[in-house]
Structure formats: C-alpha cells, structure tokens
Structure 1
Amino acid sequence: MRDRNFLMENNGKPIWHPMAHPAEMRANPPKVIVKGEGVSVTDIDGRTVIDAVGGLWNVNLGYSCDPIKKAIAAQLDALPYYSAFRGTSNEPAIELAYELSQWFAPEGMVRTFFTSGGSDSVDTAMMLARQYWKIRGLSDRVKFIALKRGYHGTHFGGASLTGSINFRRAYEPLLPGVFHVPAPSTYRNPFDETDPARLARLCAKALEEEIAFQGPDTVAAFIMEPVLGAGGIIVPPPTFMRQVRDICDRHGILLIADEVVTAFGRTGEWSGSRLWGVKPDMMTIAKAITSGYFPLGATLVNEKIAEVFEADTTGLGAIGHGYTYSAHPVGCAAGIAALAETRRLAVNRNAAARGVEFGKALEALKVKHALVGDVRYKGLMAALEVVSDRDTKTPADKKTMARLADGAYEAGVMLRVSGNNIILSPPLVVTATEIAKIAEALDAGLTAAATA
C-alpha cells in the first residue's frame, strides 16, 4: 500500500466521488478509511468509529465475517470468473439462485436474474416489465409510476423512477413515460395530513387517479420501496402497500418491490414486502446479499411472469439483456456464505430488537434538540430530519449538517448526511451498547451544530 503522505496528497484529486461535488472534494478531502472490524471502521489517522451507515446500507454482517471472506478466496482458487451468457453457467450461481427461490418463496419469487448491484437490478426489472407486456401482445403498456421521494438507483431508468430532484436535475430530460405520485410521509405531504390511515388512503387515491389519467392499459408497472430509504426513511402506514397491491391487481399493473435496502432483515423482517404482507410481481435485491463484500444483485420474478416468458414460442421471450458480471461465480459464492450467516445469526430479530431501542433514543433526541424536526425509523433504518425552524419545517443548511456530522465523528460515530436528513443504517449485528453509543454521538453532534 502507498505511504500516508502519498495518499493524503492525492486524496480527493484523481477520483470523482459519487454523490459529491468534485470541487468540494478537492477543497475538503474525504475521510480515508483503511480498516473495518465488527461494526467499526478506522481512518488513516487511526481514529476508530462506529459505522452507523453500515457501509451504504449493505454491510449487514459487519466487517469481520470470515465465512464470506473464505468463500471468496476458495472460489477465486477454483474459478475466478466465467460468463453466464447463453451456453454456460457455474456452480455458485445455480446454488444461490436456488437459495433465493427458497428464501423469498413467501413472496412468490421463483426465478432469478443476476446483476452487479441495485441500479442494475432496477433497470433489469423495468426492461423485463416492458418485455412481459410485449410477449403478451400488450405493447402499449410501457409507462411506469413511482413515488415522489423514492430512490431507485443511478442508471438512466432508475434515475427516471427516482422521485427526488437532487438525483435528477443534472441529468434531465430522463426516460419518458415515468410519472410520480405523493409518498405517504406524515411529516411532509401535499395533503397536510398527519393521520397515517387517512394519508394512506389519500396517497392510494392519488395513485389510482394517475393510473386513470394515463390510461390503465398504458401502464406497465408501479415501483416502490417498502420503506423509502435515501428519501429520508419514510415508513408507510401499514395498510399502504396492501392498498397499492389491490390497485395494481384491479388494473392489471405489475408491482415491483425495490428491496435493494430492505431485503435480508433490515426492517426486522426478511423483506419489506413480507413486513407489510404483500406479494409483489418482481423484487429487486442487492447490497446485503453479499454484505457488501462483492458487487452483486438480482431481479426476482414470480410465477405469473416466469410462465409468460417460458411459454413463449414467438422469440419475444428471449432475454436480450445482461451484464458481463451477471452470475459472477465469486459474487455468488459470497452470496451463498452471506445468506448462511444471515440466517444463522437471525439478524432480522436483532434488527427488530435494536430498532426499538434506537427509536426510543431518537425520540428522546427530538425532545431535547430543537434542530430535530422529525424522527422516522423501522428496524435498523432510521433518519433524523434536521430543521432550522420546527414551526415552518425549514430544512437545515449544509453548514449545520456538516457540523452535526463532524461533531458525531469526533464523538466516535460515522453518520451519513442526505440533504437535511441524517440517515442511519448500522450493521444488523450491532449491539445494544453500540446503539447507545450512536445515540450519544448524535447528541454530541446536535449540540455542536446548535452552538457553533
């Protein structure tokens, strides 16, 4: 490895970092992380902090999962790569696809298309949805509807589905035929509605009205995160996704559950769809499938979709889509090991228990600090929405958010800032003691932001 002087001299210069302004990174170089162990990471200066971000929602099993590392090493020795395009396959891909069909059998998933990550998985779902309708002879069904404040990745299709201007404006115009309806956020919604049940009905009605306006026979699919992540941890009312499923069924529209964040236990259930008691037509997964140890994702489909593709005799069912690293043998080996550990450790139960403790701590911070406008959480997905004025809900500025994050880092915890939200998604193996430390660091960060 290069020496420290070289790394510090070049930090923020040859790399353009995702979700950051290049000039800002050059002026204020990012933290250089050199080691991870358990739920903590260590920077180049030797400071060790709890990673309350969990990598990027994905390091569910922490940074010391030996079974995954050993599986990767063993597969590198056996077969480091081979294409999964027509004509060849590999052992880990076959085994992992089988495991996924078992894991998500309650959701009705029966087939797997492997990708390199979440954005790939979303774009694949969009392509398969349009292809499904073409095979059925309904080629007018090409439109997609999504939620405002939803997030579906950075590829052109996923960015088009994403309902936040921050992720869209620099790249518009995006994909035509994509429309958005209000998200069921009790803190910010166009109906000024705070009752969750009434809000769920209003947002469901807005979806049905948009479908009617577009023409039901032109809509291919509706996509949603069961719990909205990057948009600020918006936890829908318990009835909302079931209402969406009913609306899609009435109009013959596919329902895609974007489970890139919520699959594999983060909400306290093995999937967000299962949490709300819904069976989607497709699911997109990634992140925790390898606990972040290897780039891997998948698009899963149910029997209804699989049957249409596999019964096709016209040639339209041929999947003219794929990635160089689809079904990568090393990634699939990592996935097999990660799923085994995820199940063995029952991390969903830990996420549920720690999530209750986390929620109580966040509610206490809201009482203590005027900067906290709202707190939202489900399992080990949480957000503090930071405001400069509670009455007007005016979002806090960038300087306030930076002071908050820096104060928390000094107190021993890495946070993620997204707009005026602090996003929290620690590894699912986090302990009660570590949750308490995260809360203490948040307290220190909020105090620093308020007194600067």
Structure 2
Amino acid sequence: MRDRNFLIENNAKPIWHPMAHPAEMRAQPPRIIMKGDGAHVTDIDGRSVLDAVGGLWNVNLGYSCDPIKKAIADQLTALPYYSGFRGTTTGPSIELAYELTEWFSPEGMVRVFFTSGGSDSVETALRLARQYWKIRGQSDRTKFLALKKAYHGTHFGGASVNGNANFRRNYEPLLPGVFHCPAPWTYRNPFNETDPAKLAQLCAAAMEDEIAFQGADTIAAFIMEPVLGAGGVIVPPDNFMKLAREICDRHGILMIADEVVTGFGRTGAWSGSRLWGVKPDMMTIAKAITSGYFPLGATLIGEKVAETFETDATSFGSIGHGYTYSGHPVGCAAGLAALAETRRLRVDENAAVRGKELAAALDGLKSKHTLVGDIRCKGLMAAIELVADRDSKKIVDKKLMAKVADAAYDSGVMLRVSGNNIILSPPLILSATDVTRIVDGIGAGLSAAA
C-alpha cells in the first residue's frame, strides 16, 4: 500500500463516494479507516473508535472473526471463482443455499437465488414477481406497492420502490407503475396519529384504498422492510406487517420482505418477518450474510412462488436473469462461516438484551437534551431524530448534524448521520460497556452542538 501522505493527498480525489456530493467530499475529505478489531476501527492517524455504525449495518460479528477469514483464505486456495450460470455450480454455493433454506424455513423459504448484495437482491425479487404473474397468465400484474420512507437499494427497480425523494429525484423518471403508501411512523404521519394500533389501521386502510384505485389485478407485489432502516429506523406497530400480509392475501398480491438489514439477528430475532410473525412470499438478504467480509446477497423464494416456476411448462419459467458473481464460491464459503458463528454466538439474543439497554440509555439522553425529538429502537438498530424545536418538529440543519458526529468521534465513537437522524447499527457482539460508551459519545456530540 502507498504511504500515509499519498493516501491523504489523494483522499476523495479519484473516488466518487456513494451517497455524497463530490464537491463536499473534496472540501471535507472522509475519514480514512485503516484497521478493525472487535467492535472498533482505527483511522489513518492511529485513533481507535467504537464503530456504532457496524460498517454499514452489516459487520454483525465485528472485525476479528477468524473463522470467516480462514474460510475465505481456504476457498481462495481451492477455487477462487467459478460461474453459477446454467451448466456449472460450486460446492460452497450448494451448501450455503441448503443452510439458508434451513435457517429461514420458519418464514417458508425453500429456494435461493444468489446475488452480489442487497440492491441486486431487491432487483431480483421485483423481476421474479413480475415473471411469476406472467407464468400464471396474469400479465397485467406489473405494478408495485411500497411504503413512503422505505429504502430498497440503488438499482432502477429498487430506487423506484424507494420511498424517500433523496434517493429518487436525481434519477427520475424511474420505473413506472410504482405507488407508495403512508409509513406507519408514529412521530411523523399524515394522520397526526400517535397511537400505534390506530396508526397501523389507518395505514392499512390507505393501502387498501390504493389497491382499489389501481385495481388489485394490476399489482404484482408489495415490498416492505420489517423495520425501515435508512429512512430513520421506523419501527412499525406490532400488528402492521400482519395487516399488510392479510391485505396481500385478500387481493392475491405477493409480499416481499426486504430483510437486507433486518436479517440475521439485528432486531433481536433472526428476521424481521419472524419478529412480527409473518411469512412473506419472497425475502431479500445481504449485509450480515458474510458480516461484510465479502460482497454477497440472496433472494429467498417461498413455496408458492417456487412451485409456480418449477411446474411451468412454457418459456415463461426460464430465469433470464443473473449476475457474474451469483453464488461466488469465496462469498459462499464466507457465508457458511458467518452463519456458523452467528448461530454459535446467538447474536440475536445479545441484540435483544443490548438493544433494551441502548433504548433505556437513549431515553435518558432525551430528557437531558432538547435537540432530541424522538428515539426509535428495535434490537440493535436505532435512530435519534434531532429537531430545532420539539413542538414544531422542525429539523436541524446538516451543519449541526456534522458537529454532533465530529464531537462524538473525538470522544471515541463513530456515528452515522442521515438527514436529521443519528443512525446506530453497531456489531451484534456489543457489550454492555460498549452501549454505555456509545451513549456517552452521543451525549458529548449533543453537548457540543447545543
């Protein structure tokens, strides 16, 4: 690797960074992270900080998981790559597909289509949903329903079902035939409803109304995150996902659960669907499938969809879709090791316990800092929404958010800022002491901003 001076001199110059303005990055270059150990990362200046971001929702097992590293090294020696397209496959992909169908059998998943990440997985699910209805002879079913504030990736399909204008406007026009329903968000919603159960009913009614307007026989699928992540960790009322499932069943609409963030224990359950007691027709997974050690994802297919494809006798059942790295043997080897460690460490249980500690501590921050408008937590995914005024809920500007993040970093904690939200998604190996450190770091940031 080039020396320190070279890296600093060229920081943000040849790279355009995701989700950032190139000019802003050049004016304020990003932090250069050089090492990781446990739940901590170290920057180019040798400063170690607790990573409350978990990479990007994905480093569930921290940065020191030797079994994953060994699995990657061993597979690189044995077979660094081979294609999973028709005619060939690899041992690790067969084994991981089997493990995933076992892992997600309570959700009813029976088949696996491998991808390179979350956006690929969502794109695959959307395409398979349309194809499913062509096989069934209902080719008018091409539309999609999604929630406002939802995030489903960056491909044109995923961006189209995204419910946040920040991820859409610069790339419009997007996929036609996508319609968004109100998110069940008690802090901000068009109904001014704060009671979770009532809000769930109102949002479900709005979904029913949209279906009636569009025509149920024109809708292929409804997609939702069991807990909305990038939109601000919006935790739906307990009954909302079940209501949505019932609506989909009533109108013959497929349900896609986007579990890219919520899969593998982050909510305190092995999946968000399992948390809410729902069996979707398809699920999208990625991120923690390898704990971020290798780019890998998958679309999981339920029995109804699988049977339709596998009993088809026409050309409509042929899957004309895939990625060069679908079922990459090194990625699948990493996934097998990650799943084994995820299960052995019972990170779902740790996320549930640490999540309750985190929620309680963050509530304490709210009582001390008037900048805090709302706290939202489920397991080890959380958001602290900052407002200039609690009564009006006016959001703060990004300069103040940057000040909070910088001060927290100086105190030893890496935070992620999204709009007026501080987003927390730390590794699921977090300790009680780590929770205290994160909250102390946020407190230091809020004090500096105030």
Amino acid in the other structure paired with 1:274: R
Q: Deviations over 1:343-366 (max 9, x none)?
A: 000000000000000000110111
Q: Which residue of 1 aligns with 2:426?
A: 426
Q: Which residue of 2 aligns with 1:335?
A: 335
Question: Take 2:164 and 2:301, find their aligned partners in 1: how far apart are those partners?
Answer: 27
Question: Take 1:106 and 1:242, find their aligned partners in 2: how far apart are those partners?
Answer: 15
Q: How far is 1:51 from its partner?
A: 0.3
Q: Which residue of 2 aligns with 1:313?
A: 313
Amino acid in the other structure paired with 2:322: G
Question: Take 2:411 and 2:388, find their aligned partners in 1: how far apart are those partners?
Answer: 23
- Trace 1:50-199 onto structure 2 (pairs within 5 A): 50-199=50-199
- Trace 1:386-425 onto structure 2 (pairs within 5 A): 386-425=386-425
Q: How far is 1:420 from its partner?
A: 0.4
Question: Take 1:402 and 1:136, find their aligned partners in 2: how far apart are those partners?
Answer: 51
Amino acid in the other structure paired with 2:403: R
Q: How far is 1:315 from its partner?
A: 1.5
Question: Take 2:316 and 2:181, find their aligned partners in 1: how far apart are those partners?
Answer: 32
Question: Take 1:2 and 1:253, find their aligned partners in 2: how far apart are those partners?
Answer: 54
Question: Take 1:117 and 1:308, find their aligned partners in 2: how far apart are those partners?
Answer: 25
Q: Which residue of 2 aligns with 1:275?
A: 275
Q: How far is 1:185 from its partner?
A: 0.4
Question: Take 2:318 and 2:77, find their aligned partners in 1: how far apart are those partners?
Answer: 33
Amino acid in the other structure paired with 2:405: A
- Trace 1:233-252 onto structure 2 (pairs within 5 A): 233-252=233-252
Q: What SS is found at the alignment partner of 1:19?
A: coil
Q: Deviations over 1:295-350 (max 9, x none)?
A: 00000011100000000111110000000000000000000000000000000000
Q: How far is 1:187 from its partner?
A: 0.2
Q: Which residue of 2 aligns with 1:300?
A: 300
Question: Take 1:81 and 1:335, find their aligned partners in 2: how far apart are those partners?
Answer: 15
Question: Take 2:18 and 2:361, find their aligned partners in 1: how far apart are those partners?
Answer: 31
Amino acid in the other structure paired with 1:282: M
Q: Which residue of 2 aligns with 1:263?
A: 263
Question: Take 1:119 and 1:134, find their aligned partners in 2: how far apart are those partners?
Answer: 23
Q: How far is 1:126 from its partner?
A: 0.2
Question: Take 1:333 and 1:439, find their aligned partners in 2: how far apart are those partners?
Answer: 36
Question: Take 1:301 and 1:207, find their aligned partners in 2: how far apart are those partners?
Answer: 24
Amino acid in the other structure paired with 1:247: I
| 1:346 is aligned to 2:346 | yes
Amino acid in the other structure paired with 2:78: A
Q: Deviations over 1:137-184 (max 9, x none)?
A: 000000000000000001110000000001111001110000000000
Question: Take 2:194 and 2:106, find their aligned partners in 1: how far apart are those partners?
Answer: 32
| Stretches of structure 1 lacking an aligned partner (at least 5 in a row) | none
Q: What SS is found at the alignment partner of 2:316?
A: coil
Amino acid in the other structure paired with 1:86: R
Question: Take 2:423 and 2:27, find their aligned partners in 1: how far apart are those partners?
Answer: 24
Q: Deviations over 1:180-215 (max 9, x none)?
A: 000000000000000000000000000010001000
Q: What SS is found at the alignment partner of 2:317?
A: coil
| Stretches of structure 2 lacking an aligned partner (at least 5 in a row) | none
Q: Deviations over 1:24-65 (max 9, x none)?
A: 010110000000000000000011000000000000000000
Q: Deviations over 1:382-423 (max 9, x none)?
A: 000011111110111011000000010001000000000000
Runs (4+) of structure 1 exceeding 4 A deviation are none
Amino acid in the other structure paired with 1:294: F
Question: Take 2:350 and 2:360, find their aligned partners in 1: how far apart are those partners?
Answer: 16
| 1:221 is aligned to 2:221 | yes
Q: Which residue of 1 aligns with 2:378?
A: 378
Question: Take 1:384 and 1:420, find their aligned partners in 2: how far apart are those partners?
Answer: 8
Q: What SS is found at the alignment partner of 1:141?
A: coil
Question: Take 1:19 and 1:366, find their aligned partners in 2: how far apart are those partners?
Answer: 28
Q: Deviations over 1:269-310 (max 9, x none)?
A: 000000000000000000000000000000001110000000
Question: Take 2:323 and 2:52, find their aligned partners in 1: how far apart are those partners?
Answer: 32
Q: What SS is found at the alignment partner of 1:157?
A: helix
Question: Take 2:166 and 2:430, find their aligned partners in 1: how far apart are those partners?
Answer: 31
Amino acid in the other structure paired with 2:5: N
Identity %: 76
Q: Deviations over 1:84-116 (max 9, x none)?
A: 000000000000000000000000000000000
What is the number of equivalent residue pairs in this alignment?
450
Q: Which residue of 1 aligns with 2:207?
A: 207
Q: What SS is found at the alignment partner of 1:444?
A: helix
Question: Take 2:146 and 2:367, find their aligned partners in 1: how far apart are those partners?
Answer: 34
Question: Take 2:154 and 2:27, find their aligned partners in 1: how far apart are those partners?
Answer: 25
Amino acid in the other structure paired with 2:42: T
Amino acid in the other structure paired with 2:262: T
Q: Which residue of 2 aligns with 1:359?
A: 359
Question: Take 1:81 and 1:384, find their aligned partners in 2: how far apart are those partners?
Answer: 42
| 1:440 is aligned to 2:440 | yes
- Trace 1:15-34 onto structure 2 (pairs within 5 A): 15-34=15-34
| CA-based RMSD | 0.4
Question: Take 1:231 and 1:314, find their aligned partners in 2: how far apart are those partners?
Answer: 41
Q: How far is 1:377 from its partner?
A: 0.2
Q: What SS is found at the alignment partner of 1:56?
A: helix
The alignment's TM-score, normalised by the length of structure 1, stands at 0.99
Q: Which residue of 2 aligns with 1:14?
A: 14
Amino acid in the other structure paired with 1:322: G
Question: Take 2:317 and 2:141, find their aligned partners in 1: how far apart are those partners?
Answer: 16
Amino acid in the other structure paired with 2:51: D
Q: How far is 1:23 from its partner?
A: 0.3
